Amino acid sequence: MEMIGFAFLLLGLLSPISVGSRIQASSELLDFEALNCRKHSSVLTQFGGKGDGKTSNTNAFRSAISQLSNVASDGGAQLIVPPGRWLTGSFNLTSHFTLYIHKDAVILASQDESEWLLIKPLPSYGRGRDDSGHGGNGTIDGQGAIWWQKFKNKQLQNTRPYLIEIMFSTQVQISNLTLLNSPSWNVHPVYCSDVIIQGLTIRAPVDSPNTDGINPDSCSNVRIQDCDVVSGDDCIAVKSGWDEYGIAFGMPTQQLIIRRFTCVSPYSAAIALGSEMSGGIRDVRAEDITAVTTESAVRIKTAVGRGAYVKDIYVKGVTMHTMKYVFWMTGNYGEHPDNGYDPKALPVIQNINYRRHDGRERHDCSKKGPWNCTGVSGVSSKVSPQPCSLLPEKQPGTIVPCAYPEDKLPIDNVQLKTCSASV
């Protein structure tokens, strides 16, 4: 029997308030940087919104977006959320649309489950991550404690909401937001291209379940930069579908750049690749990463049945303080959506380049020593402590087959425009 879940879908979200944007505030005008400016503008209060932290604004948001969608072909529209505390259930955004959240506004996720829209599972996953029912999503301050407790007590019949999920979209910007207490994943762009995520501050208790920071999933041409995440799970988890569903859907995550990123996650990774990677992951570049009290800097997670590949991964300039693992790769992560996966579908891991990493204060004293290598091949250069024998010192004149690329990804050529909003 098919289960029901909850959803908060944002299609083309923009909320440029905070560090990184050049913002000038007056009583009437705010200037900000964005991929695209909009011709039409409205304020949530025009649609009956009340920012008292108690009144539900679900209908106000839905009504505003529905009406503003009529001008999508006439220069698009932006909806301004003014100062206040705006309680709401889920709502869908539309194309050629900007959601502008004032720096003194807080959107609060409703804890009334009847205010959440119903959606089907993602086609590349087959079912929700928490349960076999439909998926679910949430918003800005997710007030997630009630969901974490239900998860820990095994009381869920549906997948928990995410804060922001953007689906089947292009030219997407998520910037200058503080995201708090997500019930599950915080930011999940899926089946998208040309995505910029920058200036996010994400906070969740380090023991909160599955509160991943940013999860690009089956996306192309993505830039993540200048973000700071404290999480109960991976700070960034790169994904592309789950087992036979992801293989059939066949959409990789590729051309991803991550830079100037800080992570605190005592039980997970700063950057994880997988474990849902059945559409493939390739051409991922990460640089200037800081991981503090984090279990591992980079973690590649795969399993029998995933198929596809993780390849052309380049990570440089990582500073680590109080770590358990620097790099961790596993092909036995387990967990499947159902029993229909192909046990012969084995993922391929190749062309992995880690360079210029500095780690201090390992918080786990393993008796196995600093390196534990099985089934790998490659070379190392000037690494201390000395790597395992499967990664011998590179000899002079040896050509490294997976050298760090010197070209720029297309997303780095994208320039933001200066736009305005009246409050």
- The structure's pTM equals 0.89
- Mean predicted confidence (pLDDT) in 68-87: 95
To the query of whether residue 233 is one of the catalytic residues in this protein, the response is yes
Whose tokens are 């590649």? That residue is: 300
pLDDT, residue 395, reads 85
In 3D, which of 116, 144, 123, 129 has the Cα closest to residue 251? 123
pLDDT, residue 32, reads 85
CATH superfamily of 118-357: Single-stranded right-handed beta-helix, Pectin lyase-like (2.160.20.10)
Q: What is the mean pLDDT of the chain?
A: 88
Residues 233, 348: Cα–Cα separation, whole Å: 25
Peptide bond into 266 cis (omega under 30): no
Written as one string, the DSSP assignment of 321-388 is: EEEEEEEEEES-----SSTT--TT---EEEEEEEEEEEEE--S---TT-S----S----B-S-SS---
Residue 148: enclosing H or E segment and its boundaries? helix 145-152
What is the radius of gyration, based on Cα positions, of the chain?
Answer: 22
Phi and psi torsions of 278, nearest 5°: -75, -10
Q: Among residues 233, 234, 243, 283, which one is catalytic?
A: 233
Confidence grade of residue 309 (pLDDT, cut at 50, 70, 90): very high
Both tokens of residue 245?
A: 């569903």
SS3 107: strand
Q: What is the dihedral of CA 15, 18, 20, 24, to 10 degrees?
A: 90
Is 70 exceeded by the pLDDT of residue 9?
A: no
Pick from 120-124, 126-130, 234-238, 254-258: least confident: 126-130
SS3 per residue for 163-232? CEEEECCEEEEEECCEEECCCCCCEEEECCEEEEEECCEEECCCCCCCCCCECCECCEEEEEEEEEEECC
**Cα–Cα separations (whole angstroms), residue 380 to 324, 341, 353, 385:** 21, 36, 10, 11
Q: What is the dihedral of CA 333, 334, 338, 339, to 10 degrees?
A: 130
Residue 237: enclosing H or E segment and its boundaries? strand 236-238
Q: In this prediction, what percent of the chain has a pLDDT beyond 90?
A: 70
SS3 per residue for 2-66? CCCCCECECCCCCCCCCCCCCCCECCCEEEEEECCCCCEEEEHHHHCCCCEEEEECHHHHHHHHH
For the chain, give every domain's residue range.
118-357
Is 60 exceeded by the pLDDT of residue 262?
A: yes
pLDDT digits (tens, 9 = 90+) for 199-213: 999 999 999 999 999
Confidence grade of residue 261 (pLDDT, cut at 50, 70, 90): very high
- Mean predicted confidence (pLDDT) in 25-49: 85
* CB burial readout 156-174, b (16+ within 10 A) else e: bebbbbbbbbbbebebbbb
Both tokens of residue 361?
A: 């204060």
Confidence grade of residue 367 (pLDDT, cut at 50, 70, 90): low
Looking at per-residue pLDDT, the higher value among 379 and 1 belongs to 379
